[in-house]
Chain A
Amino acid sequence: AQRVTQPEKLLSVFKGAPVELKCNYSYSGSPELFWYVQYSRQRLQLLLRHISRESIKGFTADLNKGETSFHLKKPFAQEEDSAMYYCALSGQGGNKLVFGAGTILRVKS
């Protein structure tokens, strides 16, 4: 079964502090992993996909197959990063995305 776990409902940090949003997954094959972000009153939008190994808005995420994790990191948080972040997994050959419960990131000034 596919499962995504985001252990923190809320993460509150000060502006300029490092951020790490945790995501662990359960899947027996090779998954595709994504981070989606939902800003206040906006639609869900793709932030990162692990395959692309990219950095978007200063965020990076590395797939660690040994630890089955895909944590989202940013070295210096900004107030505009405040949002809900969802980790999502798609299985091999599959269409569906399985979402984690989400983590609210609050960046305080």
Chain B
Amino acid sequence: GAVVSQHPSWVICKSGTSVKIECRSLDFQATTMFWYRQFPKQSLMLMATSNEGSKATYEQGVEKDKFLINHASLTLSTLTVTSAHPEDSSFYICSARDLASSYNEQFFGPGTRLTVL
């Protein structure tokens, strides 16, 4: 149980285009999902907290107009990287909290490798 999927697993795009990444909780409901960036051999950096039915909460220094988050249902959150540039190339990981769990643990997706040319 508690499986989180991400799509796509990797994407290559041209500079200036937008890319959408989906995060789904497959066997549980998640009112809260999280989006992280991970640079090679580094820890996860929280970008934003995605709340079902309301606006996302962004961490300091993360541009909300650049990284659009939509959490339209209890099992789906999307991250759209708008007008992507090479510096946006990274590994993006989502996670989700199980609505039914009393713990604050998060279940992680496999990540999406974004390369912007």
Q: Mark B88-107, 1 if CB is under 8 A from A, else 0.
A: 00000101010000011111
- Are A96 and B49 also in contact (CB < 8 A) when A44-B93, A49-B103 are? yes
A83 interfacial by beta-carbon distance below 8 Å: no
Residue in A46, A86, A96 whose CB lies within 8 Å of B34: A96
User: In the complex the two chains form, is A49's CB within 8 Å of B105's CB?
Assistant: yes
A98 CB to nearest B CB, Å: 8
Residue in B42, B106, B110, B111 whose CB lies within 8 Å of A97: B106
A62 interfacial by beta-carbon distance below 8 Å: no
Number of A-B contacts (CB under 8 A): 46
A12 interfacial by beta-carbon distance below 8 Å: no
Interface residues on B, range: 10 to 19
Number of interface residues of A (CB under 8 A): 21
User: In the complex the two chains form, is A94's CB within 8 Å of B43's CB?
Assistant: no
A15 CB to nearest B CB, Å: 24
User: In the complex the two chains form, is B104's CB within 8 Å of A86's CB?
Assistant: no
Which residues in B have their C-beta under 8 angstroms from that of A98? 46
Report which A residues bind B (CB closer than 8 A): 32, 34, 36, 42-46, 49, 51, 86, 90, 94-102
Additional A-B contact list (12), CB under 8 Å, known A44-B44, A86-B44, A96-B46: A32-B104, A36-B108, A44-B93, A45-B108, A46-B105, A46-B107, A51-B103, A94-B104, A95-B32, A95-B104, A101-B43, A102-B43
The 6 closest A-B pairs by CB, nearest first: A90-B104, A44-B108, A43-B110, A101-B43, A99-B43, A32-B104
